[in-house]
């Protein structure tokens, strides 16, 4: 299934059904490990198992798009030991779970600054992207070396280059055209953004795509996030009234 930026715009509605696109800020891996006296990488390892669990939960609940904030542009500032461990864990995750993507017919895509990664790792990622690209039962997006401001800046640069080359008229730039220059321009906007670990901030995640997304925060740390937490998030979403800047009609 393909989505154009024009189709990404929400249709005003008075009630809310199940979300078609869930995005998750996976927070709390480090704290989970520290609470158990373990190295931080053990928290990330436990968190990778939660990813597999949530992919299955999305399938069971009919959520077609799942976007996970896996590694931000700011995460490069962490210790070399932790960053190296995360890169190794990412490669292991791809190797361990690619068969599951094929079995469930889920397409994997990456959004972020691909040039920041080692060529060997990016080649492995892009190989899985290519092998799963034709699936449409579900769509898994991993935000890697991703930042909302970085994405907007990169899109602005691409538009400026096109204008300089004479292939784009600056007077035609509007929200719809701008969205075509985002990392994944056909990705529908998230209906629901979940943040684990109780922090009340968006942490530079999907700044362009989330003007009307519903937010749900749980104190549960990411490695402990399970089916009951997911059910609670979906139940809270189902009770929301999404007005998209408009007013609810009185009956």
pLDDT bucket at 18, cuts 50 / 70 / 90: confident
pLDDT for residue 246:
65
Q: Whole-angstrom Cα distance, residue 4 to residue 12?
A: 18
pLDDT for residue 4:
32
Residue 156 inside a domain? The answer is no
> Could you read off the pLDDT of 192-242 as tens digits, one per residue?
999 999 999 999 999 999 999 999 999 999 999 999 999 999 999 999 987
| Residue 129: closest CA among 183, 75, 189, 71 | 183
Q: Whole-angstrom Cα distance, residue 189 to residue 208?
A: 9
Q: How many domains does the chain have?
A: 1
| Phi-psi map region of 197: left, alpha, beta (phi>0 left; psi -120 to 50 alpha) | left
Are 240 and 215 contacting, i.e. CB atoms less than 8 angstroms apart?
A: no
Residue 215 inside a domain? The answer is yes
For the chain, the three-class secondary structure string (H helix, E strand, C coil) is CCCCHHHHCCCCCCCCCCCCEEEEECCCHHHHHHHCCCCHHHHHHHHHHHHHHHHHHHHHHCCCEEEEEEEEHHHHHCCHHHHHHHHHHHHHHHHHHHHHHHHHCEEEEEECCHHHCCHHHHHHHHHHHHHHCCCCCEEEEEEEEECHHHHHHHHHHHHHHHHHHCCCCHHHCCHHHHHCCCCCCCCCCCCEEEECCCCCCCCCCCCCCCCCCEEEECCCCHHHCCHHHHHHHHHHHHCCCCCCCCCCCCC
Question: Is 136 assigned a catalytic role?
Answer: no
Residue 173 inside a domain? The answer is no
Q: Which is catalytic among the residues 29, 60, 75, 229?
A: 75
Ranges 14-28, 154-168, 186-200: which has the least confidence = 14-28
Question: Is 99 assigned a catalytic role?
Answer: no
Residue 97 inside a domain? The answer is yes
Q: Which is catalytic among the residues 8, 27, 189, 191?
A: 27
pLDDT for residue 218:
98
Residue 143's CATH number: 3.40.1180.10
Q: Which domain holds residue 95?
A: 18-147+190-238
């Amino acid at each position: 299934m393909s989505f154009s930026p024009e189709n990404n715009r929400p249709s005003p509605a008075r009630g809310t059904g199940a979300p078609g696109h869930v995005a998750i800020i996976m927070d709390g891996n480090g704290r989970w490990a520290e609470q158990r006296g373990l190295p931080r990488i053990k928290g990330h390892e436990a968190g990778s198992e939660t990813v597999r669990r949530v992919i299955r939960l999305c399938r069971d609940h009919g959520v077609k798009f799942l976007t996970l904030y896996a590694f931000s542009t700011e995460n490069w500032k962490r210790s070399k030991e932790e960053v190296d461990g995360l890169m190794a864990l990412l490669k292991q995750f791809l190797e361990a779970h690619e068969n599951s993507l094929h079995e469930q017919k889920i397409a994997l895509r990456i959004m972020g600054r691909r040039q920041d990664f080692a060529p060997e790792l990016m080649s492995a990622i892009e190989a899985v992207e290519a092998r799963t690209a034709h699936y449409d039962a579900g769509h898994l997006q991993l935000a890697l070396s991703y930042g909302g401001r970085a994405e907007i800046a990169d899109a602005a640069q691409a538009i400026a280059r096109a204008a300089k080359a004479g292939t784009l008229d600056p007077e035609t730039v509007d929200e719809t055209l701008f969205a075509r220059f985002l990392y994944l321009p056909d990705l529908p906007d998230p209906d629901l953004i979940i943040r684990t670990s109780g922090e009340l901030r968006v942490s530079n995640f999907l700044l362009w795509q989330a003007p009307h997304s519903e937010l749900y925060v749980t104190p549960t740390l990411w490695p402990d996030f399970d089916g009951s937490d997911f059910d609670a998030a979906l139940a809270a979403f189902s009770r929301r009234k999404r007005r998209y800047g408009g007013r609810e009609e009185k009956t």
